[in-house]
Chain A
Amino acid sequence: MSQISENKQISPYMAFYMVTTMQIGVGILGFERYIAKSAGHDAWISVIIGGLSFNVLIWMIYRILSKENADIIGVHKNLFGRWIGGALSFLLLIYFSSTILTVLRTYIEVIQIWVFPELNTAVIAIILLGLAYSYVIGGIRVVAGLSVLGFFITLPLFLLKYYALKNAHYTNLLPILDHSFSDLMAATKGVTLDYLGFELILLYLPFLKQPEKSQKWAHLGNLFTMFTYLITVFVSFVYFNQEQLQHTIWATLTLWKIVDLPFAQRFEYAGIALWLFVVLPNICIGLWSVSRGIHRLYKIKQKSALRTMLFVIFICCILVVDRQQVDILNTKVSQVGFYILYAYIPFLFVIQLISGKVRKTKNG
């Protein structure tokens, strides 16, 4: 792994912002229904279990990367050789690209459902991808800056929960632990999909100064995400009853509808516009990481890799036409993500342990 010059690197604490902004995406706008399906009003326990399990995964990723002192492409190459490793990296990059596509397409779907039903997918996709291009072209510092600013711009949206809490029924949460363990686990599987996204750290970690210091920030970022989801789930559960929740696709967005300020109501219009600052960091960190990965893998200029990716994503974006297809896209990509994180990362971890031992005995 060639050393990255220090003025291109970013501070370790950036891991906090980059992890949470990657995790919180479009899913949070309507994930309550999915997790309440199996665990009902106890689903908040699954949010905690899921969040904690991701801390273990972050720890594993840090261990894997710090041993080789490289990004995932370097790790693959070292462990599996040039061809198999390259193929694995390629598959991983495909997965990452499809997460970018999912986020972008789902956001466009939200805009089309809630704000502009007649809006042409191609037009808005070009605008959003152009916006992403203007960030990614500035390098990791600009992209990281976007995630910090996006974090602070959207932080006040928490205050809107006040309007839901005004009409809350706290008894909705009782009795606690009313569901079986397997129900909770099923809900946990559902909630993990919303924690996905931080795994891009596999690609950008070498760009953090003193990566070992950034680990605690990554954990904190994950905990912050957990905290956000917990509040979201809690507020939605005390506002809606379970029956109602099963018929509410976008629970959080629906909650914004009840906001009633003296000069504005129907806050979801403004909320969706502000949500741009949640979605954009997602897309930009993704685009930056994948284009960087392609550059590392095939020695193509990162700029041309980025342009090609934008084009491919744009084409895929207009190929997904209706609500059903967006849903399928979401489900499939999150399933793949689930297996990558809970199966492939531990597998990689074990393989690396074994190969480390083998190498040691060979050398010794």
Chain B
Amino acid sequence: MIFFKKKKKKQQETNTDPTKGTLTFPELMKKLRASADFSTVKQSSLSTFYISYYKTLVNPEFVHRDLLPYITDIQLKNLDDIQKHLPLDGMVKTNDVHDIANKVTEGFILIQMNKEDPEGLLVPSLSTENRQISIPETEFSVVGPKEAFVESLDTNLNLIRKRLPIPEFTVKEVRVGKLSKTRVAIIYIDGIADEENVNTAIQRVNDIEYDHIVDSSYINQMISDNENSPFPQLIDTERPDRVASVLSEGKVAIMADGSPHALTGPTTIVEFFSAFEDYFLNWTLASVIRLIRLMGVIFSVLSSPLYVAVLTFHYEMIPENLLATLVASRNDIPFPPILEAIVLELSIELLREAGARLPSKVGQTIGIVGGIVIGTAAVQAGLTSNVLLIIVALAALASFTTPVYQMSNTIRLLRFPFLLFAQFLGVLGVGICFAFIVSHLLKLTSLGRPYIAPLYPLRANDLKDALVRLPFSMQNSRPSLLRPQDKARMNKKRATAKHDIED
């Protein structure tokens, strides 16, 4: 039995992973040549050698301009001669079949002296087609840098590294995904980031077991502490300046090749409501705006459930003057408040979804047509009340103020359980639903650190950059939640030194 099991396991491995198991050189070449875009060229001027590469991965110009001129007109005895004459670095001489298979599929050029010779020289010639660096779209800011990540890991690392030109800036690279072999980089500042956080991140990325990783959002879901939670547990950002800034706080960033987003963690829930622009504005403005945003979130989640709760169960709570307005608006409505609210919320979600799926120009039209025409028509037809329409529209607006896209999706979703509880138990139901969410949040962690810090565990020192943002002169220590190795951000004495009148 045991013998059988072992055999089975081995077979499985060779089946799923083409680079493992036994593979001979002729077999590999046969596999490679099966693709139409793989070419082997025989060069025979003074001496004979073979060049093989994927035409779609290697720029032919590179072969003809930077490779062949150096080696065609000389007498070559073996691969070492070629290596000596080529003015390129990163060349590998190997007879390891797996190494050859891996490198060639990544865009290396294979040079052999003899066609059947298993030994070859691998010459790097990565020609990747890149998008130009453009302005950030989901995290746009009026002031501040306007660079956003692109789909190439190296370009992205360059964008961060030029903001942190120090040797402590460390990049650990692993390959994830059996088929895609995506390069995933774990980035941190050595000496500031807590080693435990770094190790957790590296270990979790290493433990990923999947065939292909297309985007960093795959990684975000796979390494998050609680996969079933609707709350994102790592911040997903497209701004290199934001990444550089959180790295200097002692966080860890994770980037995947082919993805224009970086994941940063450990993170806390309050961070999802802080836009990076908050740091570009004066602290008084930034704090007020941040508080408005928080209130927007609360309003967005609770307004329509409270409407349903009050109008279904607690009419007494409405003051007399307001009651007249409400009654007038709900006079001809044939539906109970809950139905009215759910229909309106769903139609707003539809508009939003339609707007997001359609090309931007059409999307705008849909938004306006849908919003104005359908809204007005629904009110005039007597299907919904004016007041609820205003509430729902405002709630939708308020949910857009959340700077992190994933979180605004979560907030969209959250109001539906609240609506159901409100219909069931009125205001008390809203309280109960809120208590359930608090219980979930209290249990949630991000890379093993508590999610709702600094509210709980209460860290008064970290509150300086949570609900409000205090001036830079007071941001003298890194968040203690991250357990940074170096706690101080600056010399506090010098930063807060008082000057005399004429100093």
Contact = CB atoms under 8 A, between A and B. Distances in A.
B85 interface: no
Scoring B313, B314, B452 by chain A CB atoms within 10 A of each residue's CB, the highest score goes to: B314
A203 to B, nearest CB: 21
* Chain B contact residues, majority secondary structure: helix
Contacts of B426: 115-116, 269
Contacts of B144: none
Contacts of A28: none
A272 interface: yes
Given A263-B319, A264-B317, A264-B319, A272 B428 contact: yes
A79 B457 CA distance: 36
Scoring B432, B438, B457 by chain A CB atoms within 10 A of each residue's CB, the highest score goes to: B438
Interface in B420-459: 425-428, 430-432, 435-436, 438-440, 442-443, 452, 455-458
Contacts of A127: 425, 432
A327 interface: no
Contacts of A276: 428, 431-432, 435
B431 A135 contact: no
B503 interface: no
Given A115-B428, A262-B319, A280 B435 contact: yes
Contact of B316 (A148, A266, A274): A266
B458 to A, nearest CB: 6
Scoring A262, A265, A269 by chain B CB atoms within 10 A of each residue's CB, the highest score goes to: A269
Given A116-B426, A131-B436, A138-B443, A270 B317 contact: yes
A134 B439 contact: yes
A273 interface: yes
Interface residues of A, number: 34
Contacts of B457: 11, 145
Contacts of A145: 442, 452, 456-457
B322 interface: yes
A39 to B, nearest CB: 34
Contacts of B397: none
Contacts of B431: 273-274, 276-277
B474 interface: no
A260 interface: yes
B318 interface: yes
A270 B428 CA distance: 7
A48 to B, nearest CB: 29
Nearest to A261: B319
Contact of B436 (A124, A134, A262, A265): A134
A228 to B, nearest CB: 20
A149 B319 contact: no
Interface in A125-140: 127-128, 131, 134-135, 138
A316 B456 CA distance: 34
Scoring B318, B439, B456 by chain A CB atoms within 10 A of each residue's CB, the highest score goes to: B439
A118 to B, nearest CB: 11
Contact of A148 (B322, B439, B456): B456
Nearest to B421: A127
A138 B314 contact: no
Contacts of B322: 262-263
Interface string A249-269: 000000000001111111101
B317 A269 contact: yes
Interface residues of B, number: 26
Given A11-B457, A260-B319, A269-B317, A146 B428 contact: no
Interface in A149-201: 149
A115 B435 CA distance: 19
Contacts of A92: none
Contact of A266 (B317, B432, B438, B452): B317
Contacts of A265: 316-319
A13 to B, nearest CB: 8
A316 B51 CA distance: 84
Nearest to B314: A269
Nearest to B457: A11
Contacts of B430: 273
A142 interface: yes
A168 B279 CA distance: 47
B430 to A, nearest CB: 7
Nearest to A152: B455
Contacts of B317: 264-267, 269-270
Interface string B270-286: 00000000000000000
Contacts of A272: 427-428
Interface in B299-316: 313-314, 316
Nearest to B322: A263
B316 to A, nearest CB: 5
A138 B319 contact: no
Nearest to A284: B439
B306 to A, nearest CB: 9
A340 interface: no
A13 B459 CA distance: 12
B462 to A, nearest CB: 14
A135 B442 contact: yes
Contacts of B428: 111, 115-116, 269, 272-273, 276
Interface in B309-368: 313-314, 316-319, 322
Scoring B322, B432, B442 by chain A CB atoms within 10 A of each residue's CB, the highest score goes to: B442
B70 to A, nearest CB: 61
Nearest to A273: B431
B442 A138 contact: yes
A261 B428 CA distance: 19
A277 B438 CA distance: 10
A142 B426 CA distance: 27
A146 B319 contact: no
B319 A116 contact: no
Contacts of B314: 115, 266, 269
A128 B458 CA distance: 26
A77 B332 CA distance: 71
Contacts of B443: 138, 142
B439 A270 contact: no
Nearest to A13: B458
B182 to A, nearest CB: 34
B432 A149 contact: no
Given A146-B442, A264-B317, A264-B319, A270 B455 contact: no
A261 B317 CA distance: 10
A111 B457 CA distance: 31
B455 A149 contact: yes
Scoring B314, B428, B443 by chain A CB atoms within 10 A of each residue's CB, the highest score goes to: B428
Contacts of A148: 455-456, 458
Given A115-B428, A149-B456, A269-B314, A138 B435 contact: no
A23 to B, nearest CB: 20
27 contacts: A11-B457, A115-B314, A115-B427, A115-B428, A131-B436, A134-B440, A135-B442, A145-B442, A145-B452, A145-B456, A146-B438, A146-B439, A146-B442, A148-B456, A149-B455, A149-B456, A263-B319, A263-B322, A264-B317, A264-B318, A264-B319, A265-B319, A266-B317, A270-B317, A270-B427, A272-B427, A280-B435
Closest 6 CB pairs of A and B: A273-B431, A145-B456, A145-B442, A273-B427, A134-B439, A138-B443
Interface of A: 11, 13, 111, 115-116, 124, 127-128, 131, 134-135, 138, 141-142, 145-146, 148-149, 260-267, 269-270, 272-274, 276-277, 280
Given A115-B427, A276-B428, 10 more contacts: A13-B458, A127-B425, A146-B438, A263-B319, A265-B319, A269-B316, A269-B428, A273-B428, A274-B431, A276-B432
